[in-house]
Amino acid sequence: MIVDLPDTTTSQVSKTLVKIREEGGVVALGRVLTLVIATAPGGEEEAIEAANDASREHPMRVIVVSSDPAEAPEVPARLDAEIRVGGDAGASEVIVLRACGDAARDEESLVMGLLLPDAPVVTWWPGAAPAVPGEAPLGRIAHRRITDASTQPDPQGALQSLAASYRPGDADFAWTRLTLWRAQLAAVLDQPPYEPITAVRVTGAIDSPSTTLLAAWLRQQLDAPTTYVLTSVEAGSHGIHGVQMTRESGDVELVRDIPGVATLRQPGQPVHDLALPRRSLRDCLADELRRLDPDELYGEVITSGLSLLGDADVEGADA
């Protein structure tokens, strides 16, 4: 069911939620958190779809704040709302707030009256993120703050901004997308021969901040010289291309030449093909919602690991 509330107030939205609950038996008792999604107009539906899918694992209330920061200052204040429950909201309640004018300038006040009482708050910016998420109006009220460096105009530069602005509780999907890569590489290193890694080389697309974070993690964990090569999108596929780790007995290579499939090569062992798909928006969101405490490893990598890396080698593009 979808209920439209044109030219409304947050108070009226809250009253309508109560009325829907009383008349239709929709309850909020099973909701475990409030997810606040801050997006620009036109980006709502993709984010809502991911949240609806993730809500089957994490029942929640979803509040979408849609506003245009580039909007002309003379635009009159107005708030249009939409409430989705039942089949249109997965296992969540979805409240879409489309604000303009002065109504969009106080995002914190827009959502405060709609948060679930005594439940954690997670704020997610699917697109453009504030310079310091932890100090943004919607970031201050959140236990966790999720950004996505890959959606920024300069994904590699966004990592440096995230490092400078990091606060405990910050997270980024560029790191979340590394989960399968880190698991596979850790599994390889847990097997004999237990020789130290003497050099690491990571390759990926220039629009893949995950490539840089993977290099930073390996540099920090293995304490070995690490280089990372970024290629233009025209020269190859998006995302991470591969990792090469050098040790005395030979090179260990995990290379993804085919979308979703990586090839593992180790000295003296058969070649293995492994499932290594690029994680979907839904998978990344569900993964981040599994923990509401700060991700300390991500914090160490973004604040310390990045600074251990030198400049990237750029291939197939103007450096």
In sequence order, what are the residues at sequence separation of 6 or more whose Cβ sits closer than 8 angstroms to the Cβ of residue 111? 10, 36, 63, 65, 97, 138, 141
Distance from chain centroid for Cα 213:
13
The per-residue pLDDT string of the chain (319 residues; one tens digit each, 9 = 90 and over) reads: 889 999 999 999 999 988 988 876 655 556 789 999 999 999 999 999 999 999 988 899 999 999 987 776 778 889 999 999 877 666 679 999 999 988 888 899 999 999 999 999 999 999 999 999 999 999 999 999 999 999 999 999 999 999 999 999 999 999 999 999 999 999 999 999 999 999 999 999 999 999 999 999 999 999 999 999 999 876 557 899 999 999 999 999 999 988 899 999 999 999 999 999 999 999 999 999 998 999 999 999 999 999 999 999 988 654 3
Helix axes 209-222, 179-189, angle to 10 degrees: 30
Q: Residue for token digits 């914190």? A: 108
Give the DSSP letter string of 41-73. Answer: TT-HHHHHHHHHHHHTTS-EEEEEEE--TT--T
Q: What is the four-CA torsion angle of 138, 143, 213, 49, rounded to 10 degrees?
A: -70
How many CB atoms are located within 10 Å of the residue 190 CB? Answer: 8
243 φ, ψ (degrees, to nearest 5): -135, 135
Q: Report the pLDDT value the prediction gives residue 36, as an integer from 0 to 100.
A: 98
Which is nearest to 318 in space by CA: 215, 211, 239, 234? Answer: 234
CA Rg, the chain, in Å?
Answer: 22
The phi, psi pair for 122, rounded to 5°, reads -120, 130
DSSP state of 207: T
Residue with tokens 């964990």: 221
Model pLDDT for residues 47-78, shown as the tens digit of each residue: 999 999 999 888 999 999 999 877 767 788 89
- pLDDT at residue 74 in the model: 76
Residue type, 178: L
Provide the 10 A C-beta neighbour count for residue 245.
22
pLDDT of res. 183: 96
Across 101-176, the runs of DSSP E, i.e. the strands, are: 121-124, 144-147, 170-172
DSSP state of 25: -
Omega before 133 within 30 of 0, i.e. cis = no
Q: Do the beta carbons of residue 177 and residue 205 sit within 8 Å?
A: no
User: Which ranges in 153-208 belong to alpha helices (H)?
Assistant: 155-165, 173-176, 179-189
- C-alpha separations of 155 from 49, 127, 216, 304 in Å: 24, 11, 15, 18
Going by the DSSP 8-state scheme, the letter that residue 268 receives in this structure is T
pLDDT value for 162: 97
Q: What is the pLDDT of residue 237?
A: 73
* pLDDT given for residue 318 in this prediction: 42
